[in-house]
């Protein structure tokens, strides 16, 4: 199963790169000009994202590097002890929605201290893969088209992240045991 999917993931891009232009050419589309025309939009889109991403990453960086994150983590500890959630991976749960690189770095630190095949290592791996970086996705997707009012989108994203954390904890404990 894994081999099949990973094989597919590997060949899908080269296959698309051959198929799309060939198919277009067969329908008399000037493929080169078409590509350039579409590619022109890439640079302005990326540049337009700069203010949004800088704003978000400055806030995340201040929150993390000053130790404010640690302070809030400490507040959650008693609650976690009560439900027996392993407190070592809590920072990952909180980092995951706000900072992709931060979460990855934290997962690596768990691999270093406990090993990737430990309970904590497996839990961290599963949590890392279970959701995407909500704030980043929100910033980029809404920033690119200039949406200011995001309605309920943030709430939905964060609640889904929480579901991912709980589901990871449940399934890893069930499959691998704690």
Partner 1 sequence: MVNYIWLFMIVSGVVAGAVQGELDLVTQAALKGAKEGVAVCIGLISILVFWLGMMRIAQDAGLLEKLAGLLGPLARLLFPGVPRDHPAMGYILSNMSANLFGLGNAATPMGLKAMEELQKLNPNKKTATPAMCTLLALNTSGLTLIPTTIIGIRMEYGSANPTEIIGTTLFATCCSTVAAVLLDRWFRQRSLDAG
- Give, as ranges, the residues between 32 and 61 that touch partner 1 (CB under 8 A): 34-39, 41-43, 45-47, 49-50, 53-61
Q: How far apart are CA 69 and CA 158, in angstroms?
A: 17
Residue tagged 């690189």 (tokens): 101
| CA angle 107–109–115, rounded 5-degree value | 85
Question: Using CB under 8 A, which of the segments 77-85, 86-94, 112-120 binds partner 1?
Answer: 112-120
Q: Is 47 exposed, middle or buried (0-12, 13-18, 19+ CB in 10 A)?
A: exposed
Q: How far apart are CA 79 and CA 87, in angstroms?
A: 10
Tell which positions 139-158 bind partner 1, by CB under 8 A.
140-142, 144-157
Least Cβ distance, residue 23 to partner 1 (angstroms): 5
Our finding on whether 75 is near partner 1 (CB under 8 A) is no
Our finding on whether 94 is near partner 1 (CB under 8 A) is no
Tell which positions 2-31 bind partner 1, by CB under 8 A.
2, 5-6, 8-9, 12-13, 16-17, 20-21, 23-24, 27, 29, 31
């Amino acid at each position: 199963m894994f081999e099949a999917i990973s094989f597919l993931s590997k060949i899908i891009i080269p296959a698309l790169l051959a198929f799309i232009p060939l198919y277009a050419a067969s329908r008399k589309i000037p493929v080169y000009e078409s590509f350039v025309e579409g590619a022109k939009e890439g640079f302005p889109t990326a540049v337009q994202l700069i203010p949004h991403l800088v704003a978000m990453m400055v806030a995340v960086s201040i929150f993390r590097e000053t130790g404010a994150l640690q302070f809030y983590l400490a507040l959650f500890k008693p609650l976690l002890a009560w439900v027996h959630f392993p407190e070592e991976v809590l920072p990952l749960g909180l980092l995951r929605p706000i900072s992709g690189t931060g979460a990855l770095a934290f997962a690596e630190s768990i691999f270093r201290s406990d090993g990737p095949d430990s309970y904590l290592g497996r839990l961290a791996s599963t949590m890392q893969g279970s959701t995407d970086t909500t704030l980043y996705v929100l910033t980029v997707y809404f920033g690119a088209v200039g949406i200011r009012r995001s309605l309920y989108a943030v709430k939905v994203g964060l609640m889904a992240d929480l579901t991912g954390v709980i589901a990871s904890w449940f399934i890893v404990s069930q499959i691998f045991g704690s």
